[in-house]
Amino acid sequence: MSPWLALAIWLLVVATIIPVMGMAIGYAEMKISAHMQSRIGPYFAGGRFGWAQLIADGVKFFQKEDLVPENADRPVFKMAPVLVMVGTVGLFVVIPFGPGLTPQNLDLGIFYALAISSVGTIGVLMAGWSSGNKYSLMGGLRAAGQLIAYELPLVLAVVGVVILAGTMSLDGIVQAQISWFSEAGWSLGMPFVIVQAVGLGVFFVASLAELSRIPFDMPIAESELVMGYLTEYSGFRFLFFFLAEFANMFTLSAIAATLFLGGYWVPGVPDSILQFVGPLVLLGKIALFIFVSIWVRWTFPRFREDQLQTLAWKWLVPISLANIIVTGVLKVVL
């Protein structure tokens, strides 16, 4: 297969996954939150269970006028959603969906993923500044402070897994979990969550903050800032931010599942079957993370700005550093 054809196929897959997953997660969020609050949630669109609600919402966004405020900085305002999307789409490059089903198995794997996802922060700041609106600017500033604070624990939490696996390639990390104890002739797998539970905890909290979801949604706190850096966006460009947020939830959950839960792997299933079942297994593990983050969102109140910074700098960073030291020492001793 020529590289261009392969590229076209992968692009098509990603261009399908992002809106479909975005809508699926959006629908799950509506339904789960409704049931947690003893409501029914979307009910009528599509006939049963309101399954077409998000499709109707998407069509609505396309019909809306693409407004740009009078004193906005037009080119920057229009570029911002694209840049946010770049950080999201770039993550799909390294996620292993099954044995041999990694779009591009980079040697740098997880490092690349963390680097490309940090590009979105610039997009958020651009959106906040270029809107020419004080609420947007405050939202952008809060977002920048928060994303910088939580990027550090996010990166540090991964280091423990990298030490254990001895590689940064995501495919290599899955392989390391599949054959953790391997003697002549047989091997026994172990998902890294068993020894890296602390790392998973830090990674999960930090990724919630990176996504600015409740309880970390100070940047778009609607009771104070209207909608933060999203205030002035409408129609198609708002849809871009919306889809990027949900697709980001998907990719960060996929990375968490790959690093800590063994990715596409289930114990006792040979590679020949995993090739077909692998993506579904990964999807199941992703769904677990997404459910927990929706659960957290509808359970906890919003953090105050100082509590948010305290949690990042005084708790998560020291915990993840201690985790690295303990993991490193045990790796050398054992």
Phi first, then psi, for residue 216 (nearest 5°) are -110, 35
Separation between Cα atoms, residue 275 and residue 101, nearest integer Å: 8
Q: Which residues pair with 187 in a beta bridge?
A: 182
The CB-of-28 to other proteins minimum distance in angstroms stands at 30
Which residue, 116 or 319, is less far from other proteins as judged by CB?
116
The per-residue DSSP string of 201-256 comes to HHHHHHHHHHTT-TTS-GGG-HHHHTTGGGTT--HHHHHHHHHHHHHHHHHHHHHH
The CB-of-302 to other proteins minimum distance in angstroms stands at 21
The CB-of-83 to other proteins minimum distance in angstroms stands at 9
Residue 210 parent element (H or E): helix 197-210
Which residue, 155 or 266, is less far from other proteins as judged by CB?
155
The CB-of-76 to other proteins minimum distance in angstroms stands at 7
* Spacing of C-alpha 73 from chain mean position: 29
The CB-of-73 to other proteins minimum distance in angstroms stands at 5
Please report how many Cα atoms fall inside a 13 Å half-sphere around the Cα of residue 47, on the Cβ side: 0
Which residue, 31 or 142, is less far from other proteins as judged by CB?
142
The CB-of-12 to other proteins minimum distance in angstroms stands at 24
Separation between Cα atoms, residue 312 and residue 9, nearest integer Å: 40
Which residue, 25 or 144, is less far from other proteins as judged by CB?
144
Chain residues that interact with other proteins, rule: CB under 8 A: 71-73, 76, 106-108, 111-112, 114-116, 118-119, 121-122, 125-126, 128-130, 132, 137, 140-141, 144-145, 147-148, 151, 155, 167-168
Contact 190, 180 (CB under 8 A): yes
Which residue, 220 or 239, is less far from other proteins as judged by CB?
220
Separation between Cα atoms, residue 92 and residue 77, nearest integer Å: 25
Which residue, 53 or 212, is less far from other proteins as judged by CB?
212
Q: Which residues pair with 182 in a beta bridge?
A: 187
